[in-house]
Amino acid sequence: MAAIKTVGVIGSGQMGNGIAHVAALAGFNVVLYDVSADRVKSAMATINGNLTRQVAKKTITEDAHRQAIARISSADNFDGFAGCDLVIETAVEKEDVKRKIFHDLCAVLRPDAIIASNTSSISITRLAASTDRPEKFIGIHFMNPVPVMELVELIRGIATDDATFDAAREFVTAMGKQIAVSEDFPAFIVNRILLPMINEAIYTLYEGVGNVEAIDAAMKLGAHHPMGPLELADFIGLDTCLSIMQVLHEGLADSKYRPCPLLVKYVEAGWLGRKSQRGFYDYRGDKPVPTR
């Protein structure tokens, strides 16, 4: 299999623009696509701002900043991925949405191109089966925020071949990331452990054991976590947290993974955390204020 040189990224949100950022900085050509041209423009502004901060901190040079930006181009549609060696999907954590993307993507890709999903919980084997190349499909799960977090989970589906795995490992290593190889079980390693903890924190709030501030302070000061679990849930996005808990609950059929009703209620209200300005904290003022 030829070395990966050009990488496509589907979705320009938090994860997509982060992946584009680190890939371009590592010397890969990047093609970025989203359903809205405005979202891609916003993503480019975010990438530029984050690179500028890295220059200010002297972690990269101004020349590296300029070269990284020059390596990123945008695509108007999936035809823009025709020359890519690898395409990474970072769409919303809904299986039907991802399947539709892969169906449309396969029609334009070269036969030897690799497809990857940044899914944080959905079966790689099942997603691969919706493509015309399950042996060239792999899970490459980056952590958020991508430019800061050192870890990437690599997940093989049942059909993923060795050449695809080796190419993905080389790609991830070239970006300076550390790899954890996970079996294809619901939510893989990080979220299998992290999300039930967050869900339990929400149950602790729901049952009145402590308020938002007490729960977050307890875990920051008592367990030395850099962020409290409710603050972290807002950062991840409560809709994403709910989707992962639903995958765990349905995939493992164990009641301990039942999403907390309060999490469901917040998502139904559209209080999704930082991205919607309200979640377990209200972010509309000068400083975040607990909503319970």
Q: Which distant-in-sequence residues (6+ apart) come within 8 Å of 109 by Cβ?
A: 81, 82, 84, 87, 115
Catalytic residue among 29, 118, 120, 121: 120
Residue for token pair 């449309």: 104
Q: Please identify which residue in the block is written with the tokens 């901060």.
A: 53
- Cα distance between residue 181 and residue 43, in whole Å: 29
**Rounded alpha-carbon distances, angstroms, from residue 179 to 75, 125, 139, 261:** 29, 20, 12, 34
CA angle 277, 199, 201 (to 5 degrees): 85
Report the candidate in 50, 42, 41, 40 with the shortest Cα–Cα distance to residue 18. Answer: 50
**255 counts as catalytic:** no
Two tokens, residue 169:
């490992």
Alpha-carbon distance of 104 to 229, in angstroms, equals 37
Report how far residue 260's alpha carbon sits from residue 96's, in angstroms, rounded to the nearest whole number: 24
Q: Which of the residues 141, 182, 231, 243 is marked catalytic?
A: 141
Is 153 a known active-site residue? yes
Active-site annotation holder among 17, 182, 191, 199: 191
Is residue 231 annotated as part of the catalytic site, yes or no?
no
In the set 17, 21, 118, 153, the catalytic residue is: 153
Smallest Cα–Cα separation from 207: which of 245, 262, 255?
262
CA-to-CA distance for 208 and 201, rounded, in angstroms? Answer: 11
Compute the distance between CA of residue 257 and CA of residue 244 in angstroms, rounded to an integer. Answer: 10
Among 245, 243, 235, which residue's Cα sits nearest to residue 197? Answer: 245
> Alpha-carbon dihedral of residues 281, 283, 284, 288, nearest 10 degrees?
80
Question: Assign residue 33 a region: left if phi > 0, alpha if psi is -120 to 50, beta otherwise?
Answer: beta
- Positions annotated as catalytic residues are 120, 141, 153, 191
